[in-house]
Structure 1
Amino acid sequence: MEIPQSPRAVSPVVSTILLVATVVILGTTISVLALGVTDDLNDAGPVVGQSTAEFIGDRSGADDQIVRITHIAGDSVAVSEMELVVRACGKATRLINLPAPTTRTASTPTYFPFDEGNFQGNQDLLSEGTVGQSWDAGVLHEDTTNTFAAGSSFEFRITNGACSLAAGETIEVMVVHSPTNTVMIDTELTAQ
């Protein structure tokens, strides 16, 4: 006696392939959820698509090197989420706790751009500011928009006594988005 075969039956090869595919998909989904693989993924930081960096003349006659960074294109970034890393003359420092507080001297209308609370590392590399020196801290100062956006800029001063840059020597400047630890700007300037 012959057993009749149904025209709807699935062959053993096809059923095995479907079973293996189902097990792989379930295993992958469960392992991602159970092992927390996605916990290590961070949101991407902001992107500064284009920027310029330049040495500008010292307006106070102190012969310090003033560096200006200008945001040309890309995402806007809250200054409170930024840090600056500066390397020159074998030294490195970070500007932190931004925006810097507004410190105005009684004797002159000069704002001191930074104070001791804004430095980490070699504090003598960058100037805190003294009476008679002037430069535009720009968006790094608390009395501005506090947003590093296209068209905005900031300056800082390399202290001449702590780091005398001769022609051909370089300074590296990085602007870091601190919540994501993303380097938004990494530039190297050469002294003239």
Structure 2
Amino acid sequence: MSGSETRWWSIGSLRQWSTGPPRQVVSGVARAVDAVGSRGSLLGVPTHLDGTHDRRGVSPVIATVLLVAVVVVLAATLGGFALGIDEELSEPAPNVASASGELRRNVIDDGGTDQIVRITHEGGDPVAVSGLVIQVTVPKTGQRGRLSGFPVPGDDPQPTEEYVSGDDVFDNSANSVSGSIGAESPDTDDTWNVGDFFQFRIANGAVSLSAGDRVVVTGIHGPSESTLFRLTLTAR
């Protein structure tokens, strides 16, 4: 095999292997390095009249080939790692095309006066309640709290402090959540579907609402922190 043929074989193979898996890259580099060591004509290493080769140019060539191989392997490894992270972080949020809500005051329930929020899914994708976060903002007081960790289990589900973050504006008494976010609700399969509702209560002790007061309810897809809906409700 002539020097030009050796040069074509080694460089061409290295280019081919550089696009393969790391193990294949390393194997290809080793064969290319072997070619460099055995044939002085590769990459222009001087050849003497007696057929021997000047080895002084071989070491820098080997070092360059190995450096290129290390860079290729690192790039492939880091690229795959970054791609895996991106796939994990890019879980798409469901699309809730339409939702409606109401906020009722002075509802007599179990002998008490409640402030009830009811949200209905009017159109779009189903939403797994395990990833649903309900954020309530009360403009007149500046309070903001989040309710999550659904479905809340039990025959009379209570969203205790483990379900709440931020300001605790929620009623934590028994049976204060229902619909799709309550585990024992008859119409739920742990999914908020079109036509389904969920309901929760705002605590009178934390927030005392008067007629005309506004509350902003935002549905958030927890895994992506994307907004599913935002409703401004007026107490009546």
Q: TM-score, structure 1 length as denominator? A: 0.68
Structure 2: 5+ residue runs without aligned partners?
1-78
Q: 2:182 aligns with which of 134, 137, 141?
A: 141
**Structure exhibiting the larger radius of gyration computed from Cα positions:** 2
Q: 2:137 aligns with which of 69, 84, 87?
A: 87
Higher-RCO chain (CA-CA 8 Å, sequence separation at least 6) = 1
RMSD, aligned CA: 2.5
What letter matches 1:98 in structure 2? F
The whole-number CA distance in structure 1 between the counterparts of 2:143 and 2:177 is 23
Q: Which residue of 2 aligns with 1:53?
A: 101
Report which of the two has the higher share of helix: 2
Residue 59 (structure 1) shift:
3.3
Deviations 1:41-74 (A, max 9, x none): 8354111111110023623153321000000110
Contact 1:113 1:141 in 2 (8 A): no
Structure 1: 5+ residue runs without aligned partners?
1-32, 105-110
Q: Give the secondary structure class of the aligned counterpart of 1:63.
A: strand
Q: TM-score, structure 2 length as denominator? A: 0.56
Equivalenced residue count is: 149
Contact 2:103 2:235 in 1 (8 A): yes
Contact 1:55 1:66 in 2 (8 A): yes
The whole-number CA distance in structure 2 between the counterparts of 1:94 and 1:136 is 14
The whole-number CA distance in structure 1 between the counterparts of 2:172 and 2:146 is 13
| Runs of 4 or more consecutive aligned structure 1 residues displaced over 6 Å after TM superposition | none
The yes-or-no answer on 1:67 pairing with 2:117 is yes
Deviations 1:16-48 (A, max 9, x none): xxxxxxxxxxxxxxxxx79x7994983541111
The whole-number CA distance in structure 2 between the counterparts of 1:154 and 1:113 is 14
The whole-number CA distance in structure 2 between the counterparts of 1:56 and 1:136 is 15
Contact 2:159 2:177 in 1 (8 A): no
Identity rate of aligned residues, in percent? Answer: 33
